[in-house]
Amino acid sequence: MAPRQQWFETLRVSIAQEHGKGWIVREVGATSRNPIGRCQLIRIWEDRTRSSVMLPLEWKATNATAILTTVGQIRTLMEERNLPLQEALKLNTEALGGGPQGAEEDFAGWPEVKARFLKTQQSHRSSTLRDLTTRLDRVLEALQGKPAPRDGGTLMRRYADRFFADCPPGGVGRKRNLLDVARFLTYAVDECGAPTRFYPPSKAKINELIGSATTTTSERLTPPIKPEDLAALLDQLEADGEHELRLAVGLVGLYGLRPAELAVLEVREGKGYVGHVKRNSSSMSAKTKPPRLVMAIDVPGREGEGERLLHLYGSGLVKLPKSIRNQIALVEQKGKFQDVGAEFAQKLERYGPWQALVARNTGLTPYSLRHGYAWRAHTGSSQQLHPRIAAALMGHNVATHLKHYGSWTDEASLEAAVERFNAGVHPVES
């Protein structure tokens, strides 16, 4: 009877069958005190040059499958990325948490990829990092599901199935989630040696997961507060003695400020200027933008009210509500402005007349005060502001302005526009 074949002989035959000649494994480092050595992988090319690496695996029968799997992973990295043997081993080991045993089955190395990816994103503001961390935690959860996703497309579908119950199709929430997942997967493959099958799917496939919105852009847009409602709100605040809240509401509504910009509003020589509060990777790496000039757009019957409020603010005779001032004082410590806007919104939403106004106008939010500025810029006067001027006053570019405000109109605005046009038509002489 022929002697039983040793496990490593069977392993070598399997390696030769799968990868051809030139892939050799052997035991190295065994001693009398430590009889089990390590596995060495040797790559021999056609010209007889060779290279070798030590695999993070002991030379024993229970590791035969892991050794065979590791050789395949390293060969794939070398051929797909044109890497030397040492670099392929390094990528494979780093990405998969120190060893390939069961790596593709239980994704033991993905937490390390997550940590490395987050280190590359530290220039983002804290809220962005918080959202990104949540999304990456969800990726790891999706990877641990059974059966485990075997490629990027399957993973992203699993992610969508699990976490999009409260994200409407076509919404910005789905888009941001999936684009972050796609960036993470690309980084995992390109920088950490994850299998190439985990590249994200095509843009068309991602768009399928994002879906199509059931409402139009104009239906989703937060409605503007109309001029007559803003005037009535300011009057009611005055009557109720809410002078500080009236100042905040008037500045946001009459100057079109982002509520958080109350933290960076200053008055110089009778003019209002606001600094930069939108922090992202591009704005934080660029040179600091100079403060922008802000100017009030009047409400009929309240002409000059914006200038009066700005003067009160600059003089200190009337201050912003204390809770808003407290949040402004914490901006430097927190490194963000969002809580200023959040406090403004909370203060206004607790005010009874505002609640009544919202009840009569579906979808109205504190941000509608800023949107009302854009509304008046284009419909509140026979001399409408050019979109370029309105965009500059509001602190964004023309494309953003047209995207968000270009679709606003109603029946009364259409009738008024046609009436103005017809009034300018001169009779043609026969």
Q: What is the DSSP string of 181-222?
A: HHHHHHHHHHHH---GGGS---HHHHHHHH---SS-HHHHSP
pLDDT of residue 76: 85
Residue 2: pLDDT over 70: no
- 272 within a domain of the structure (yes/no): yes
Buried b (16+ CB within 10 A) or exposed e, 356-366: ebbeeeeebbb
15 with 164, same domain? no
- 265 within a domain of the structure (yes/no): yes
Alpha-carbon gap, residue 252 to 214, rounded angstroms: 31
- Reported as a single tens digit per residue, the pLDDT across 304-330 is 999 999 999 999 999 999 999 999 999
396 with 249, same domain? yes
pLDDT of residue 406: 67
pLDDT of residue 193: 75
Nearest-Å Rg of the Cα atoms of the chain is 32
Q: Of 104, 130, 164, which residue constitutes the final position of a domain? A: 104
- 390 within a domain of the structure (yes/no): yes
pLDDT of residue 249: 97
Question: Which range marks the domain in which residue 125 is found?
Answer: 110-214
pLDDT of residue 426: 63
- 428 within a domain of the structure (yes/no): no
Among 100-104, 185-189, 190-194, 382-386, the minimum mean pLDDT is found in 100-104
pLDDT of residue 179: 94
What is the CATH number for 395? Answer: 1.10.443
4 or 415, which is more confident? Answer: 415
Alpha-carbon gap, residue 321 to 341, rounded angstroms: 12
Alpha-carbon gap, residue 123 to 140, rounded angstroms: 23
- 320 within a domain of the structure (yes/no): yes
Q: How many domains does the chain have?
A: 3
129 with 29, same domain? no
pLDDT of residue 404: 74
pLDDT of residue 178: 94
* Phi, psi (degrees; rounded to nearest 5) at 304: 85, 0
pLDDT-derived band at 289 (thresholds 50, 70, 90) equals confident
CA distances from 66 to 72, 90, 148, 236 (A): 10, 16, 18, 75
256 with 123, same domain? no
Q: Of 214, 243, 270, which residue constitutes the final position of a domain? A: 214
pLDDT of residue 151: 83
Buried b (16+ CB within 10 A) or exposed e, 372-385: bbbbbbbbbeeeeb
SS3 8: helix
152 with 265, same domain? no
Alpha-carbon gap, residue 249 to 325, rounded angstroms: 14
355 with 334, same domain? yes
pLDDT of residue 87: 85
- Reported as a single tens digit per residue, the pLDDT across 142-186 is 988 888 887 888 899 999 999 998 888 887 888 999 999 999 999
Quick check: bond before 168 cis, omega within 30? Answer: no
Helices (H), 292-380: 305-315, 322-329, 331-334, 338-349, 352-360, 368-379
Query: Which one-letter amino acid corresponds to residue 45?
Result: W
pLDDT-derived band at 104 (thresholds 50, 70, 90) equals very low
174 with 305, same domain? no
pLDDT of residue 421: 77
- Reported as a single tens digit per residue, the pLDDT across 340-381 is 999 999 999 999 999 999 999 988 999 999 999 998 888 777
- 92 within a domain of the structure (yes/no): yes
pLDDT-derived band at 81 (thresholds 50, 70, 90) equals confident
0.75 exceeded by pTM: no
Alpha-carbon gap, residue 281 to 289, rounded angstroms: 14
Look up residue 62 and give its DSSP letter.
Answer: G
203 with 233, same domain? no
232 or 412, which is more confident? Answer: 232
Q: Of 214, 248, 273, which residue constitutes the final position of a domain? A: 214
Residue 210: pLDDT over 50: yes
100 with 114, same domain? no
241 with 188, same domain? no
Alpha-carbon gap, residue 122 to 111, rounded angstroms: 17
pLDDT of residue 100: 39
- 205 within a domain of the structure (yes/no): yes
Rounded to an integer, the average pLDDT of 72-81 is 85
268 with 382, same domain? yes
